[in-house]
Chain A
Amino acid sequence: MVIKSSAPTRDEVFELLTGIKDPELPVVDIVELGIVRDVSIDGDTVRVDVTPTYSGCPALSVIEDEIVEKLKAHGFSDVKVRNVFSPAWTTDWLSDETKQKLKDYGIAPPGTAAMIDGAELVTIRRSRETVACPYCGSRNTEQKSEFGSTACKAIHFCNGCDQPFDYFKPF
C-alpha cells in the first residue's frame, strides 16, 4: 500500500499560515489576527476560509496571493481561498499575547469592542477613553483622529513623551 504523504495535514497548514504576516502589521500573523477562519483538505486540494478585517482592507488581496503561493510551494496543486463574512471579524479575537506584540511594535492594542449605539453614538463626547501610550505607558494621551494610517488604526498623541502613536481601534 502506498500512502501519499506529500501534502501537509490541516494542523500543519495552520502552522504554515502563521508564517504569513499582515503586510500592514508585520509583527502579527494572519492566524492570530483571526483572518484565517478554517482550512479543509481534500487530497492535494486545500481550501482556506478567510474573513476581511475591514470591508476595504487593501491587505487582503496581498494576503490571499501569499496563501496560494505558500501552500502551492508545500505540495498542494490546487489552493482555493474563500471569503466568509459571518461571524464578522472583531478585535476581541486577539489574544493577550498578540496584543503585547502590537504594543511592543509601538501600536496601542485595542480595548473591548463595546457596541455603542443610538443616541450615545451621535453625542459629542466630553471625555474619551484614555489609551496608554505604547512607548512610555503614560495615560496623559489624547485622540487626534479616529481615522489613521490604515482602516484599523486611530491617531493618538502622548503628552507624556510628546509623540504621536497609533491605536488599534476596537472593532
Chain B
Amino acid sequence: MSDSDLFEYLLRLGDDRLVLGHRLSEWCGHAPILEEDIALANIALDLIGQSSLYLHLAGEVEGKGRSEDALAYFRETIEFQNFLIVELPNGDFAFTILRQFLFDVFSFHLLQQLEKSAHAELGGIAAKGYKEVRYHLRHSSEWVQRLGDGTDESHARAQRALDELWRFTGEMFEMDAIDERLLTARIAADLKAIEPKWRAMVSDVLSRATLKIPENVAMMTGGRRGRHTEYLGHMLSEMQIVARSHPGAEW
C-alpha cells in the first residue's frame, strides 16, 4: 500500500458521491412534489458533503496542496474515477429513484465495512456517511416499492429504468490492484464480499416492488479508469464553469 493507492481510493469514494450529488441537485425546483424536491436536495447535500470530506483527505494524502475544491473543479473528465451509473442523466423520477436505490444499497454495505477501516480518518468519515445513507436507503427503497407496485404507468417506468440501469451495476464490484493492496492493508472494503449482500437486499425489495431483474446483461465498465459515457463531460462543464471562470472567488 502506498500513499498514491490511498489517494486514488479516496478520489473514487469522493467522485461517486460528488457526481451523484450533482445529478440529484439538478432536481432542485423540478421534482414532482415539494417534499421530494426537498428530499432530493437534502440527499444531494449529504452526498456532496461526504464527497468534500473524502476529497479533502485525498488532497492531504497527495501532499501537493490541492484542496477538495481544486480536486472537484479543476480536474478533467478523464481524471474522474466515478462509476458510470452515477453520471447518467436523471431521466424521469423512476430512473432517478431506481439509480439511487441501487447505489444506496451498495453504499450502505460499503460504508458498513469502511467504518472499520484501519485508516482511522477514513473510518470516521465513513461512519458518519453510513448514518446518512440509512436515511437515503429508506427513502429510495420505499419509493421503489411504491412505483413498482403502484399504477401500470409507474410500474412500466420503474421496470424500464431497471432494464436500462442494470448493465451499470457490475462495475460496483470490480476490484483492481489498488483495491486488493488496500484490502490487504485492511483499509479498503472487500467488494466481492459485498456483492452477494447487495444482490440479496436489492432482490428482496425488487420482488416486493413486482419488478424483474433483467437477465443475461452484458455489463458496462470503465469509470474507475477514467473511461466515461458522453454525459460526464457535459455535466462537469456545467458544474465547473463558475469556479473556472472566477478562480479563487469567495462569497
CB distance from A40 to the nearest CB of B (A): 19
Interface residues of B in 116-168 (CB under 8 A from A): 120-121, 123-125, 127-129, 131-132, 134-135, 137-139, 141-142, 145-146
CB distance from A131 to the nearest CB of B (A): 16
B38 interface residue (CB < 8 Å to A): yes
Cβ–Cβ < 8 Å partners of A56 in chain B: 45-50, 52
CB distance from A165 to the nearest CB of B (A): 15
Contact A151 B127, CB 8 Å, known A56-B52, A121-B138, A122-B204: no
Interface residues of B in 29-81 (CB under 8 A from A): 35-36, 38-39, 41-43, 45-50, 52-53
CB distance from B167 to the nearest CB of A (A): 23
Contact with B along A131-171 (1 / 0, CB 8 A): 00000000000001111110100010000000000000101
B205 interface residue (CB < 8 Å to A): yes
Cβ–Cβ < 8 Å partners of A121 in chain B: 108, 134, 137-138, 141
CA distance A88 to B120 in the complex (A): 12
Contact with B along A80-118 (1 / 0, CB 8 A): 000011111100000000000000000000000001111
Cβ–Cβ < 8 Å partners of A73 in chain B: none
Q: For chain B, which range describes its interface: under 10, 10 to 19, 20 to 34, or 35 or more residues?
A: 35 or more
CB distance from A14 to the nearest CB of B (A): 23
B241 interface residue (CB < 8 Å to A): no
CA distance A117 to B130 in the complex (A): 11
CA distance A117 to B132 in the complex (A): 12
Cβ–Cβ < 8 Å partners of A57 in chain B: 49
Cβ–Cβ < 8 Å partners of B139 in chain A: 146-147
Question: A85 near B46 (CB under 8 angstroms)?
Answer: no
Question: B145 near A88 (CB under 8 angstroms)?
Answer: no
- Looking at B49, B139, B208, the one whose CB has the most chain A CB atoms below 10 A away is B49
Which residue of B46, B124, B131, B137 contacts A122 across the interface (Cβ within 8 Å)? B137
Cβ–Cβ < 8 Å partners of A119 in chain B: 201, 204
- Looking at A88, A115, A144, the one whose CB has the most chain B CB atoms below 10 A away is A88
Contact A122 B129, CB 8 Å, known A145-B35, A148-B38: no
Which residue of B127, B132, B138, B142 contacts A86 across the interface (Cβ within 8 Å)? B127
Question: A85 near B49 (CB under 8 angstroms)?
Answer: no
Question: A122 near B201 (CB under 8 angstroms)?
Answer: yes
Contact A124 B121, CB 8 Å, known A88-B127, A144-B35, A147-B139: no
Cβ–Cβ < 8 Å partners of B138 in chain A: 121-122, 146
Question: B201 near A85 (CB under 8 angstroms)?
Answer: no
Question: A147 near B38 (CB under 8 angstroms)?
Answer: yes
CA distance A57 to B138 in the complex (A): 20
Contact A122 B141, CB 8 Å, known A52-B128, A84-B124, A116-B134: yes
Contact A124 B145, CB 8 Å, known A55-B132, A147-B139: yes
Question: A171 near B131 (CB under 8 angstroms)?
Answer: yes
Contact A151 B45, CB 8 Å, known A55-B50, A86-B123, A124-B142: yes
Quick one: closest A residue to B39, CB to CB? A147
Contact A146 B135, CB 8 Å, known A56-B49, A85-B124, A151-B46: yes
B contacts, CB < 8 Å to A: 35-36, 38-39, 41-43, 45-50, 52-53, 105, 108, 120-121, 123-125, 127-129, 131-132, 134-135, 137-139, 141-142, 145-146, 201, 204-205, 208
A contacts, CB < 8 Å to B: 52, 54-58, 84-89, 115-119, 121-124, 144-149, 151, 155, 169, 171
Q: Can you report 11 A-B residue pairs in the complex whose CB atoms are below 8 A from each other?
A: A52-B128, A56-B48, A56-B50, A85-B121, A86-B127, A121-B138, A122-B105, A122-B141, A124-B142, A145-B36, A147-B35
